[in-house]
Amino acid sequence: MQDKSFFGHPRGLFVLFLTEMWERFGYYGMRAILLLFLISPTARGAMGLPEAEGTSIYALYVASVYLLTLPGGWIADNILGQKKSIIYGGGLITLGYAILAISSSPSTFYIGLVAVALGTGLLKANISTIVGELYPEGGRKRDEAFSIFYMGINVGSTLGIAMVGYIGEKVNWHLGFATASIAMLLGLITFIFMGRTYLKGIGDEPSAKAKVSDTHAIAHPPINKNVLYTIVGLLVVFYAVLHFTGKIDFSNAQGLANAAGIIIVSITVAYFLFILLGGGLNTVEKKRVAVLGVLFFAVSIFWSGFEQAATSFQIFASRHTERTFFGWEMPSSWFQFFNAAFIVMLAPLVNSLWAFLEKRNMNPSTPVKFAIGLILMGVGFYVMVLGANIAVTGVKASFIFLSVTYVLHTIGELSISPVGLSSYTKLAPRQYVSQFMGIWFVGASLGNLIAGIFAGGFTEGNLQQMPSLFNQVFVIGIVSGLVLLLFAKPIKKWMGGIE
């Protein structure tokens, strides 16, 4: 790719930046009003559901959006190729938000939500995979591209939360959903028209059928169907046993969330087993898949802490944080902006830091960067322990606690998330690349779910427990980070020469 005119990167990256920016605008914008819309009084045209029901629908929506990236990746790898998957996905999302915008009954509303979730499943992992495809040489350039792409994600989410959030909450719910639909439509048009020129020949073919002339392609043996059927069979038996012994209980929100956790974990384990035992991989590839497993585990822990931004931190912000400045009270939801805004500010800095270290041959390896991210997540929670210790005395804590935590968590996110996206594209066996990108987002699905379940402990009556709850996450973050650091060398070896 000769044309380098977007921060020294090919223009194709600019197309992906814009498309993902608009998609995230709609996603985070709609997410910012979804819970409110579900539980606000019907008098304002909202759904007026009881709080527990609204929260569980919200949690299931977010978890399924990210879980659906796995089948979305499979479809791209085997049937459509990435480009078509993104176009169909973008179309479905546009349609889904439009249905939300015109819906006047709960059933049409749920149809709209399902369309958005399916569409995001088709789009989200595949657009990240295509970023990697622009850099067949891999290396640092690819990492840098993912940092730029990540800024697009967060510019989109900042603007989306501001605009859709404001229009939806203050003007009219349905107009908010319509704004999300228009945003996705803009992204889709950008992708189709600019992509024709700047993404020519990329993501057109399903990667499982990629020609051997392709830079990464190697002739690979077919999958072992017997292994596939055995694993699917075991999974079915496992669910049946859980069902008949009453271990899965769909009758209440808590049961539903726990069941979702079991389903997500078991599908991931089954997927890894299938790829390792029946995926037709050689030893080097198998070792890399094992590394992907470790990174999956680490990122799930990271998101479980990080995603409390929308759950326990939101509760801490609204009930226990001093937000009045010179007689004006800042809305508690404004803390949600902090992360996206800090990303846009800090991504170039973190990127230059890696480049600086790279020149001196000191750029930390992927597992070390993951360990740094986990430790920063833990330290952020330690700051929350300090804040919570004040809150339990009945005094509101300064907004500085949440702000410092957000800075630490944002730097942690930059050390894990764009780096992880990039490594997943590099480490995944070529014929499964989009599916593994899907697995990466399944980590986000699991993290969001755990963050939601964890926030259930934050009731008014349970105030005294708050410091120790935050302390638990602090310990989990630090310990998992240190363990990863300890094994960073062997993990790097298993990456088989991939930086």
Q: Give me the residues that bind ligand GLN (CB under 6 A), please.
A: 24, 153, 303, 417, 441, 444
Transcribe 47-62 into DSSP letters.
Answer: ----HHHHHHHHHHHH
Q: How far is the CB of 150 from ligand GLN (least distance, A)?
A: 7
> Judged by CB, which is closer to ligand GLN: 368, or 444?
444
Q: How far is the CB of 425 from ligand GLN (least distance, A)?
A: 14
> Judged by CB, which is closer to ligand GLN: 173, or 424?
424
Q: How far is the CB of 374 from ligand GLN (least distance, A)?
A: 15
> Judged by CB, which is closer to ligand GLN: 115, or 153?
153
DSSP annotation of 10 reads E
Q: How far is the CB of 336 from ligand GLN (least distance, A)?
A: 12
**What is Dmax (Cα atoms) for the chain?**
69
Q: How far is the CB of 264 from ligand GLN (least distance, A)?
A: 14
- Phi and psi, residue 77, nearest 5°: -65, -35
Q: How far is the CB of 158 from ligand GLN (least distance, A)?
A: 11
> Judged by CB, which is closer to ligand GLN: 150, or 470?
150
List all residues 6 or more positions away from 211 whose beta carbon is below 8 Å from its beta carbon. Answer: 205, 217
**Residue of 367, 408, 391, 355 lying closest to 463 (CA atoms):** 391
Token pair of 281 as six digits = 């991989």
Transcribe 237-269 into DSSP letters.
Answer: HHHHHHHHTT---TTSHHHHHHHHHHHHHHHHH
**Residue of 164, 173, 176 lying closest to 38 (CA atoms):** 173
> Judged by CB, which is closer to ligand GLN: 97, or 441?
441
Chain residue at closest Cβ approach to ligand GLN: 444
Alpha carbons within 13 A on the beta-carbon side of 163 = 19
**Residue of 451, 454, 421, 412 lying closest to 307 (CA atoms):** 451
324 has which bridge partners?
329
> Judged by CB, which is closer to ligand GLN: 381, or 441?
441
Q: How far is the CB of 466 from ligand GLN (least distance, A)?
A: 24
> Judged by CB, which is closer to ligand GLN: 130, or 153?
153
Residue pair 144/355 in contact by the 8 Å Cβ criterion: yes
